Structure 1
């Protein structure tokens, strides 16, 4: 089995301790030679400045292409495009263009009166600049706001037609969920790469909460398996085994690239990558 291409997602730090964790994660995973790494926005664009700082630091000091998340939330069109152009001026040419999560307690997404109404409008405007490679989100399990499974496919097609060149999925727990989604996309005429998003399970309770918020379906047996593993002190072993097996099944099914949601904790992601035959480049282990 050939080793897959990989990419990693980080989030910007909001404290000194979190800053140390981010840079330790970046340094630990850089030797695995990712195709790119991405840096997220917080809900409601709350980490906009921190995201920009993290993106520029990774771009300037580490040998990794970096993609900045950019959302529509709580910003005018002018301000959003100003941020985008500042990335391009700094040499960052990849963006992950998303509608974005609304601020907590807001009751749902509400477009800024002078902002982009949705991710399609954002993608169209970014594509018109001619300065970016654009990636977008996709949902193998139904998005909480989608009326049915096909609605997610139809909306992804609109984003690709607006100018995106690839999609990164929300995490999922069943490879067949991804394959069914991929088949629906192919049937709909989507030919852009769809990269599965992988979440190594560092803390089952937190992951289950994430899943409930984003609509990812949890197989019943996972609850039982992690309950037993945590009692026996084997949760990390179970997580690595399940994640590596899922990735292997995806590769067997024709997947060539995997995107890992690291949560700024490198160990499990690194262990899974090693299990997949991705060997570190020792010359990059002290690059900073």
Structure 2
């Protein structure tokens, strides 16, 4: 059984339990001076990415996800072949991929989680409220809003906004969706959006990239509001970077340079997938600003 939706629900809610499975190869802790990556990388001529094979909008075996596109961009900039080690986003993912030296980077990982060494973040987003246009909920910006009282709202069980919903008395009529599913066969996010479109629920709460991706695909498109004004409960906004092994300092520095030098191109990929991008003051970054070369 793999984790529903994608790694961030797990990372933000329960990733700490995986730390006991992650180890370092002490031989690789010796880093050559001068930025030589040969001792850090599985194959210096190949960008080897750790990814889930069934995890849209982030990654899949067909290369259709956000992180696939960013990996393609980086491989081009590095002049390297791109290759993947695929493994379900489940317990043991880091141990069986990055930790086993089968690949060298996880393309998306929440900043601050010590399971891996994180790069600088390349985007910031939050959980979001998804509603139909014309529903009267388009301008709801917080779960405290009285207009949500009595509404049937979809929520993935065990994710941070479930706590905020409980605090505000919204769980009585909520429809929970499982955190743990086999993503080869099912998707809680996709099921939730389907229920929203059919009228079984009146609003949905999803992690921002998933909210934006499925809202953009819907016909007609759905409205997405980042939940950044919550006054109680856990924080719902997070910075996302990339994950490397703790010993791979030169590789991390190279990735940091790639992020900095290619931020507008990265932002364009994120915007194209509907990801609601936030600045450090929780303001939405428009497409024109996000993709502008500084």
TM-score normalised by structure 2 residue count: 0.27
Q: Which has the higher helix share?
A: 1
Bigger radius of gyration, 1 or 2?
Answer: 2
